[in-house]
Structure 1
Amino acid sequence: MKLRRPIVSELARKRDHRANRLLAALEPEDLAYLAPHLEIVALPKGTILYQAGETLRYAYFPHDTIVSLVADMSNGSSAEMAVFGCESMVGLISAFVTRQSIGRYVVQFPGVASRICLDRMHEAINVRPSIRQLILRFTEALLSRILQNVACNAIHSVEARCCRWILSTHDRLNQDTLPLTHEFLAEMLGVQRSTVSIITRALQAEGLIQQGRGFIAVTDRSGLERASCECYGKVRRNFERLLPHTYTKT
């Protein structure tokens, strides 16, 4: 994958930091404390924020983009370890001690994000108790999601996990037509492309999705939720418990 870096543009600068739901959850005085140190950057699809082992310099708060933390194996295969959208922040949790990336952070859907130097973010956590509490709540929610996904990957079918991934993407992008390809889903789920093709054809036959070249459209969200495993609902409810309003209401 070609290495691309974040872009600071005039269009991006006009965006509101509160498009990220974590930043929106801050008290006005806490957001005002962070604001002078936040900048909005455009993140084209394929942007590599960090490679495995690279030193982390910034934390990112996605607006309308999605970033995956991917594990690359020695045989050339890869699988997603974690995913971050507008309910999340990227880079801080794994940077408290060593500041070395534990995997490849790659932008899966183009958009923008607010970013802040890690030194400034650590400083804010130390001096602003409300910011520290928000980050601790996010850390607990993120850890529970990762652990739930470990159990999900071990127990549940690829079909159910595929439905969970589509639903989570639907939540984060808040639109019915999702720029998902079979190749991308296969990489994220850690399966063969042919497996994803079989699953999506079945979902389309059931009227749950409509697929075309480079996209999947959600046509029956309720049905997709029924076809998904219980993990989707558990993760979402836990985020909403710890961080109210981090997901849109559908």
Structure 2
Amino acid sequence: MISKSRARRPDMLTNPKLTANRLLGALDEADRMAISPFLTREAMVSGHLFYDPGDTIQQLYFVESGVISLMTLLREGDAVECGMVGREGLLGAGPALAGLPVYTRAICQVSGSTLKIGVDDFLGLVNTRPAFRRALIQYLEGLANQAQQSVACRAWHRAEARFCRWLVAACDQAGRDEIDLTQEFLAQMLAVQRTTVSQIAGEMQALGLIQQKRGRIAILDRPGVEARACECLDASRARWNDVWPLPRS
């Protein structure tokens, strides 16, 4: 049952331009108005832990900007990125719909903004809004495709090409070309040594493609960086544009 306890904000999502989230933006006005009262806008900061394996979903998050990484934790303590949640969709949908504990760690890697919804309200809307339910199925298919693409990418593509793909994709999600990002984290995401990331970043900075600051990376020449990215960048963009229409300006 949908909770009635919180204050109503019926205008938050009546105009799709009020949110950069593509899942919410793809819904019609009636569905946005139905969902809007149950949303709370919250900032997310780099390093914030949303879930760990075994957690039970209490809150879900529509991402408006920024990046949440989904991490598979290994026995020896290592972690490997297996997915990315950005403004295409929603963190927590799969476990919430399945009624299962969380399997992966979810941690904010690029600061941004989210719209939070409680799990009971979310499930109530899923059960009463068929179009919303269909949109979630579309999104989860896109998320699965992203994970499949990442497996192929890690197996076949050079570290520099994967570096460029990840950086551009993260900036796309953040909505800006300068993001908080350490070399240690990027090495973990790409499953390479930090020295490899340092060498790649140094070469790209020397070419004027990027600029490194303390804990930050900025893209200076986006076409140049995209040209060095592997084919997975365009493949992922094309797949998300199959799932959702292009973002409204």
TM-score above 0.5: yes
Q: CA shift at 1:143, angstroms?
A: 1.1
- Aligned to 1:114, the other structure's residue is in SS state strand
Q: What percent identity do the matched residue pairs reach?
A: 36
Q: Measure the CA separation in 2 of the matches of 1:25 and 1:164.
A: 26
Q: Measure the CA separation in 1 of the matches of 2:97 and 2:30.
A: 24
2:59 is matched with 58
1:241 is matched with 242
Q: Measure the CA separation in 1 of the matches of 2:228 and 2:46.
A: 29
1:217 is matched with 218
1:154 is matched with 155
Unaligned runs of 5+ residues in structure 1 are: 1-13
Superposed CA offset, 1:188-217 (max 9, x none): 112221111011112222322121221111
2:184 is matched with 183
1:89 maps to a residue whose letter is L
In the alignment, structure 1 residue 193 sits paired with structure 2 residue 194: yes
2:168 is matched with 167
Question: Contact 2:45–2:112 at 8 Å: present in 1 too?
Answer: yes
Matched pairs, number = 235
1:29 is matched with 30
Question: Contact 1:62–1:89 at 8 Å: present in 2 too?
Answer: yes
- Aligned to 2:42, the other structure's residue is in SS state strand
Moved more, 112-121 or 54-63: 112-121
Moved more, 143-152 or 44-53: 44-53
Q: CA shift at 1:15, angstroms?
A: 7.8
Q: Measure the CA separation in 1 of the matches of 2:212 and 2:63.
A: 26
Q: Measure the CA separation in 2 of the matches of 1:110 and 1:160.
A: 24
Q: Measure the CA separation in 2 of the matches of 1:195 and 1:106.
A: 23
Unaligned runs of 5+ residues in structure 2 are: 1-10
1:203 is matched with 204
2:104 is matched with 103
Q: Measure the CA separation in 2 of the matches of 1:76 and 1:175.
A: 32
2:130 is matched with 129
Moved more, 118-127 or 167-176: 118-127
Q: Measure the CA separation in 2 of the matches of 1:32 and 1:216.
A: 38
Q: Measure the CA separation in 2 of the matches of 1:158 and 1:214.
A: 20
In the alignment, structure 1 residue 113 sits paired with structure 2 residue 105: no
Superposed CA offset, 1:156-207 (max 9, x none): 1111111100010121112222222111111211222111101111222232
Q: Measure the CA separation in 2 of the matches of 1:48 and 1:65.
A: 14
Q: Measure the CA separation in 2 of the matches of 1:167 and 1:195.
A: 18
Q: Measure the CA separation in 2 of the matches of 1:179 and 1:46.
A: 10
Question: Contact 2:40–2:116 at 8 Å: present in 1 too?
Answer: yes
Query: Normalising to structure 1: TM-score of the pair?
Result: 0.87
Question: Contact 2:109–2:181 at 8 Å: present in 1 too?
Answer: no
Q: Measure the CA separation in 2 of the matches of 1:19 and 1:232.
A: 20
1:45 is matched with 46
Question: Contact 2:66–2:170 at 8 Å: present in 1 too?
Answer: no
1:204 maps to a residue whose letter is Q
What do you get for the CA RMSD once the two structures are aligned?
2.0
- Aligned to 2:65, the other structure's residue is in SS state coil
Q: CA shift at 1:68, angstroms?
A: 0.8
In the alignment, structure 1 residue 68 sits paired with structure 2 residue 69: yes
Query: Normalising to structure 2: TM-score of the pair?
Result: 0.88
Moved over 6 A (4+): 14-17
Q: CA shift at 1:51, angstroms?
A: 0.9
1:4 is matched with none
Q: Measure the CA separation in 1 of the matches of 2:66 and 2:230.
A: 25
Instruction: Report the CA distance shift for 1:100/1:26 in structure 2 as closer, same or farther (over 3 A).
Output: same
2:82 maps to a residue whose letter is M
